[in-house]
A and B are shown apart, each in its own frame.
Chain A
Amino acid sequence: MDSPILQVKNLTKIYGQNVIFQDISLDVNRGETIVIIGPSGTGKSTLLRCINLLTPANSGQIFLNGQEITTPEANEDRVRQQIGMVFQNFLLFNHLTALDNVMVGLTKVKKMPKARAREKALYELNRVGLSDRADHYPGQLSGGQQQRVGIARALAMDPSVMLFDEPTSALDPELIGEVLGVMETLAREHMTMLVVTHEMGFAREVANRIVFMEKGSIVEQGKPDDLFYRPQHERTREFLWKITELYGNKEEKHE
């Protein structure tokens, strides 16, 4: 097997007196879809932000394609081009059309000629099923459509890894399916993905591995079936039981 595309080693994040997470180590293999689950306030989202250097970690190391990105010499703007990020509240650029949202990274960051960038952006929009919305502004799109543009914007940079920070938490239930559908397709195309979500249906069906985090540490990780049916820790069992009861019925609907 290849060496991991993304390696997190003993990562710790502290805000003031609060330990957000401590000593997290995680290897992500090429083409793997990892779903991170766990109670709120466990540091899952902060972990994603640290991986993409939006928030500096206090200690530990992160390697992307074998290169350490947590050294002071690493060019963080360049690193972020290789790590796509999808946000809970979409964060589309409100003054740009869907097409320009996807294009702007290509023209302004990658300095791609306009015609080529446009072609690439249209391809990515088509990938998320929104080529007919290219000229719409974010304010004219539904939440689900906005999030799919958000995914296209990240994909356009051809990242090695995609990070999803609760991509469906801000969506109305009937719009969740369209976003999960796009993510499922990406997983099947072997995009490397790290997904923080409460969508247990997605975790069970799509993930290669589920990581259960609680109180700033990884409690347990493994194949979905192992975690769901043969958890090693009582806490994992409790959490999965609770969350499946809470969200389970809803998920059946959009599968």
Chain B
Amino acid sequence: MSDVPEFFLRFWPQLLQGAGITLLLTVQGLAAGLVLGLLSALARVYGNKFWRGLAVGYVELFRGTPLLVQLFLIYYGLPGLGITLSREWSAFLALGLNSGAYQAEYLRGSILAIGEGQMMAGRAIGMSKWRAIWEIVLPQALRLAIPAWANEPVSLLKSTAIVFLIAVPELMAVGKTIAARTYNPIGAYVTVALVYLAVVYLLDAFLKWAEARVKIPGFEAEGRKA
């Protein structure tokens, strides 16, 4: 434990680089997951039977199996089908697909919470269904989703640690290297844990700032009731 300050001094370039890759994996996975999650949520609420079924299948599959299994299937399994992806692509795909399934549920819940009245009011001034979804339902649903959805970036950031198993040089992999080089696993992993804590703290602060920025006076209470 007492080695921790020394580890920071000695390994800060590697730790910084690892944290950078961890953050990059998180942001990429989150972005891909947001697109997938949004599409799935819209498909489930507004789609026909086919799209609803597809979305349900996707969400159940990726929420119902471990991320590690998904990662290994993509990295070690897909080459058997003639699809070989790099480590980075495999990590990105697994994290994005997995996160999308969770985000779909957060977003679906908030879309349903907006209520049909808002859609009806949009249609009543001549908006098409998809325009009303885009202009009226989503801007409200996304705001409503933020408090619950804000768990996802933090959760995903910590999940990225498992991609060290396919040798992506993120923070956890840096920790393993330090542990091997110093024969001090406790010191190494405590150091890494502190870096994770710091990154999570910064991420949380950013999310709170973003939530406050898009907040609309009186909307929270009203929106939930409607």
Contacts and interface: CB of A to CB of B under 8 A. Distances in A.
Contacts of B217: 137, 139-140
A85 interface: yes
Interface string A74-117: 00011011001101010111110000000011001110000000
B216 A157 contact: no
B61 interface: no
A151 interface: no
Contact of A93 (B118, B143, B218): B118
B22 to A, nearest CB: 34
Contacts of B9: none
Could you say which of A78, A92, A94, A139 has the most chain B C-beta atoms within 10 Å of its C-beta?
Answer: A94
Given A80-B126, A104-B135, A108-B135, A94 B219 contact: yes
B126 A93 contact: no
Given A54-B123, A93-B136, A94-B118, 7 more contacts: A80-B125, A80-B126, A81-B125, A92-B121, A105-B125, A108-B135, A139-B221
B167 interface: no
Contacts of B123: 54, 77, 80
Contacts of B127: 77, 105, 108-109
Interface of A: 52, 54, 77-78, 80-81, 84-85, 87, 89, 91-95, 104-105, 108-110, 137-140, 153-154, 157
Contacts of A140: 217-218
A94 B216 contact: yes
Nearest to A93: B136
Contacts of A91: 117-118, 120-121
B120 A94 contact: no
Interface of B: 117-118, 120-128, 131, 135-136, 139-140, 143, 216-219, 221-223, 226
A137 B126 contact: no
Could you say which of B125, B127, B219, B221 has the most chain A C-beta atoms within 10 Å of its C-beta?
Answer: B125
B5 to A, nearest CB: 48
Contact of A138 (B126, B135, B218): B218
11 contacts: A77-B128, A87-B117, A93-B118, A93-B122, A94-B118, A94-B219, A95-B136, A95-B223, A109-B125, A110-B126, A139-B219
B117 A94 contact: no
Nearest to A141: B218
B140 A154 contact: no
B222 A139 contact: yes
B64 to A, nearest CB: 34
B139 A95 contact: yes
Contacts of A87: 117, 120-121, 124
**Which 5 A-B pairs rank lowest in CB-CB distance, beginning with the nearest?**
A139-B218, A81-B126, A91-B121, A105-B125, A85-B124
B38 to A, nearest CB: 17
Contacts of B222: 94, 138-139
A153 B125 contact: yes
A139 B123 CA distance: 22
A216 to B, nearest CB: 22
Contacts of A93: 118, 121-122, 136, 140
A157 B121 contact: no
Contact of B131 (A80, A85, A108, A153): A108
A52 B222 CA distance: 26
Contacts of B131: 108-109
Contacts of B140: 93-95
A94 B139 CA distance: 10
A94 B226 contact: yes
A78 B127 CA distance: 9
B126 A109 contact: yes
Contacts of B135: 104, 108
A84 B123 CA distance: 11
B219 A137 contact: yes
Contact of B216 (A77, A95, A105): A95
Contacts of A95: 136, 139-140, 143, 216, 219, 223
A112 to B, nearest CB: 12
B222 to A, nearest CB: 5
A84 B222 CA distance: 24
